[in-house]
A and B are shown apart, each in its own frame.
Chain A
Amino acid sequence: MNYIEHIGKYFLMLGQVFKRPQKMRIFKEALIRELDDLGNKSLGIAAFIAFFVGGVVAIQTALNVDNPMIPRYLIGFATKRSIILEFAPTFISVILAGKVGSFITSSIGTMRVTEQIDALEVMGINSLNLLVLPKIIATVFFYPFIITISMFLGILGGYVAGVLTGLFSTTDYIEGVQLDFNPYFIKYAIIKTMVFAFVIATIPSYHGYYVKGGALEVGRASTQAVVWTSVVIIVLNYFLTQMLLG
């Protein structure tokens, strides 16, 4: 199957996904489960990575800014900007694409190869709507929350790195963080995150839903899903940056 066919099939899938849920009670139960599986359980890894990478960004900036003409508060300023604009929304989304994407593909793919999806279809249930829509809603509305926490922890990680290494003073760092704060950048990061969250929920679902074969094929589909989700996130990041900041 060529790429054009895959893209067409992906959009046809979305057509089935965005239909009114057949039973609200079941949809709500599925949504709560997905919020826990895809959102809550991703919070820990995102927080951990954000904190340490924030520290690394601050240390790298401090080590590379050794010109006495450049004020030291720029370390805090550069750390804040890079975390809010790129690191939190894009880097964390790529990490979530790996963690959550493989989970989504393997869980839906296993349902496919063990005929659980066929069982839903025989009952007359729109399986795409039941399985994928709660995932989209859970990720699109929960990931901005994860990314906001990541921003805070990334900047905090930079502060802690300054305290521990003594490469820059915490006063300079805080001054830099507070300097020229633009609320639009937060909005920009949230918009990007919501788009990436949609990609993280739908591309792995597509790979899982249309998998054919057995366990090996489910594993292969998971790998492919993570690769394609990451590629699409990186490409969309380019266009979104141009559109929203250009």
Chain B
Amino acid sequence: MIEVKNIHKSFGETHVLKGISAKFEKGQTSLIIGQSGSGKTVFIKTLLGLFQPDEGCICYDGVDYDKMSGDEKRELRKQIGMVFQGSALFDSSTVEENVMFPLKMFTEQTREQMLERVNFVLKRVDLVNANHKYPAELSGGMQKRVAIARAIVMNPKYLFCDEPNSGLDPKTAILIDNLIQEITDEYNITTVINTHDMNSVMEIGEKIIFLKNGVKEWEGTNKDIFITNNKAVTDFVYSSNLFKKVRKIYQMEAEGRTCD
């Protein structure tokens, strides 16, 4: 479990995160949603320790990240998998080398053992016969799959995904969402996803945190989000006609009526 208490983060004069508190449970997929510029990426990067918070604390399984020793932090990082918005694959390495990199860095396995694990995770993300391709030779969806494979190759306890669907077509986006959900359930990991994709909210949003201007505006499930009266949330969610209709269906269901 990850617990965040009263996190503040500023860059110069710009106060980006303003006292955010949240809990991310084990075996649950939590979504951070909000408009562009709401502080989602800064929040997730602060959780990862890439940014030092100005105030507040982040606890991994009850231990304050700030109070961990260098070795404890390094150990924790081995248990973290991250899928970046642009996949962040190493351009000069093949798919196989990308996925194998954490194993080479942190284990003493033989090449055969590492290769076996790499092939297993690549098969798990449904990516076969791509071992020797370079990232530039892959489609956006395939790059995301490689990034997920690299993130889970060390059997992480925590999985973070920054906009895993950005730049993908709706069908591939749903496949990636489902893959992340399945992996979360299968390995019982704590997954935190940053997104502004409402399809993801509907598909995998077991817990949703809505950020607006660096403040946690709302928290709930993917069912609650369609019936909430929070104006900031409704403005965000119902910016598309499709979701206006979805809301109507939810409201009718809540009132015990059926739609035509």
Contacts and interface: CB of A to CB of B under 8 A. Distances in A.
Interface of A: 22-23, 25-26, 33, 110-111, 114-116, 118-119, 121-125
Interface in B58-104: 73-74, 76-78, 80, 82, 84-86, 88-92, 101-102, 104
B242 interface: no
22 contacts: A22-B105, A23-B104, A23-B105, A33-B92, A114-B86, A114-B88, A115-B84, A115-B85, A115-B86, A116-B89, A116-B91, A118-B50, A118-B84, A118-B88, A122-B48, A122-B77, A122-B160, A123-B105, A123-B106, A124-B77, A124-B78, A125-B105
B105 A122 contact: no
Which of A23, A26, A110, A122 gathers most chain B CB within 10 Å? A122
B45 interface: yes
B82 A122 contact: yes
Given A122-B50, A122-B80, A124-B78, A116 B104 contact: no
Interface of B: 45, 48-50, 73-74, 76-78, 80, 82, 84-86, 88-92, 101-102, 104-106, 160
B163 to A, nearest CB: 11
Q: Which 10 A-B pairs have the closest CB atoms?
A: A124-B77, A115-B88, A119-B88, A124-B74, A115-B84, A122-B82, A116-B88, A23-B105, A122-B48, A114-B86
Contacts of B88: 114-116, 118-119
A121 B45 CA distance: 11
A26 B101 CA distance: 9
B104 A25 contact: yes
B84 A26 contact: no
Contact of A119 (B78, B84, B92, B104): B84
Contacts of B50: 118, 121-122
Which of A26, A33, A123 gathers most chain B CB within 10 Å? A123
A116 B105 contact: no
Contact of B90 (A23, A116, A121): A116
Contacts of A110: 91
B150 to A, nearest CB: 8
B229 to A, nearest CB: 37
A116 B146 CA distance: 14
Contacts of A26: 104-105
B112 to A, nearest CB: 15
Contacts of A25: 104
B156 to A, nearest CB: 10
Contacts of B104: 23, 25-26
Contacts of B105: 22-23, 26, 123, 125
Nearest to A37: B92
Contacts of B102: 123
A111 B73 CA distance: 23
Contacts of B48: 122
Contacts of B91: 110-111, 114, 116
A165 to B, nearest CB: 46
Nearest to B76: A124
A119 B153 CA distance: 14
Which of A22, A26, A115 gathers most chain B CB within 10 Å? A115
B82 A119 contact: yes
A30 to B, nearest CB: 10
Given A119-B88, A122-B49, A123-B101, 12 more contacts: A25-B104, A111-B90, A114-B86, A114-B88, A115-B84, A118-B45, A118-B88, A119-B82, A123-B77, A123-B106, A124-B74, A124-B76
